[in-house]
Amino acid sequence: MIDIIGAGSLGLLFAGRLASSGTEVRLWTRTLEQARMIACEGITVFDKKGRTAVHVPGDRLQVAPLADWQRLNSHTAVQWILLMTKQGGVDEVLKQILPVAKTERATGIVCLQNGIGHIERIRRAWPEAVLYPAVTTEGAKRQGAASVVHAGAGITEIGWPEEQEKAQDRNFKQYVLNRLLAAGFDVCLSKEIENGMYRKLLINAVINPLTAIWRIRNGELLSDPVRLHMMRKLYDEGIQVYEAHGIHWESGWWDQIMNVCQATAENHSSMLADVLAQSMTEVASINGQLVQMAELAGVTAPTHEVLWQLIEGMRLKEE
């Protein structure tokens, strides 16, 4: 069984496609209301044209609110977790699951959060777990509590250190990796996942805050020289921060940002979706992280800092 924690856009996409391909899935939601709706309606994945690509009836998967984790797992060891909450939700997840975490059997956790810093927090809180940092360019937009649009196929990179060849990791290849591939996801194991995480951080730091401030779709960033100029300022500041820390970067990253905007032209970024929903955004974990890295290195990232403060100030209510 694979436990998926988080029933946002990516959680619904992965749960729906895994379950439809025959994997036993247990999906953990933030609210009881969403769990009940998914149990009743199942999960529907639509393609970009609005056609049903996958529908999984509610009786084909298990679903429960995260608050029930301790009650439902008090006598069993969880082996595989896909952690798909946002960075801001990681601490609450750990609070719910650690009281019944089984230390005699290592749990493998694939961590699919934007930004950086969460891997260290999870490792400190749960040292017995085996962590697999991951980044994905899968595009998904939640339509409702039980449905999601697969807005764009992408690649999912999962961290795989060279020395990692324990039995747990062989099982990971045999079970989790093969299940994801069988579900139609383009997945690869990466021995340079840290580089991939920094690349994804910069992509998000350039695209997400500007779409959130201007309230535009990703593709509209490319339609005006002023918008492109702001994107380049954010990119150049990010590269300066990386150079100050000795972080490897590649000249092709700017072109990748352009390609992401084009490939997801009709999408709302997750940060814009959060702003429109008056929810907590991930700006502190993205642009805020770059600002803090800049301060540690003795350089500045003023454009990132201004956007961080502006977007934090747009939030009208706490989650």
Q: How far apart are CA 184 and CA 86, in angstroms?
A: 23
Domain definitions of the chain by residue range: 2-191, 194-314
Residue located via tokens 């709706």 = 37
Local confidence band at 168 (pLDDT 50, 70, 90 cut-offs): low
The most confident of 153-157, 239-243, 314-318, by mean pLDDT: 239-243
Q: How far apart are CA 119 and CA 133, in angstroms?
A: 7
Q: In the prediction, which pLDDT does 319 show?
A: 41
Task: Tell me the pLDDT tens digit for each residue of 198-250.
Answer: 999 999 999 999 999 999 999 999 999 999 999 999 999 999 999 999 999 99
172 versus 303: the higher-pLDDT residue is 303
Task: Tell me the pLDDT tens digit for each residue of 71-81.
Answer: 888 777 788 99
Instruction: Classify domain 194-314 at the CATH superfamily level.
Output: N-(1-d-carboxylethyl)-l-norvaline Dehydrogenase; domain 2 (1.10.1040.10)
Query: Which of these, 197, 201, 204, lies nearest to 272 by C-alpha position?
Result: 204
Residue located via tokens 């029930």 = 68
Decide yes or no: CATH 3.40.50.1970 for domain 2-191.
Answer: no
Q: In the prediction, which pLDDT does 167 show?
A: 54
Residue 280 pLDDT greater than 90, yes or no: no
Residue 165 pLDDT greater than 60, yes or no: no
Residue 29 pLDDT greater than 90, yes or no: yes
- Count Cα neighbours of 108 within 13 Å in the Cβ-side half-sphere: 22
Q: In the prediction, which pLDDT does 115 show?
A: 84
pLDDT average, residue stretch 134-155? 91
Q: In the prediction, which pLDDT does 67 show?
A: 94
Residue 10 pLDDT greater than 90, yes or no: yes
Amino acid identity, residue 72? Answer: L
Share of the chain above pLDDT 70, in %: 94
pTM over 0.75: yes
pLDDT average, residue stretch 283-288? 94
Task: Tell me the pLDDT tens digit for each residue of 56-106.
Answer: 999 999 999 999 998 888 777 788 999 999 988 999 999 999 887 755 467
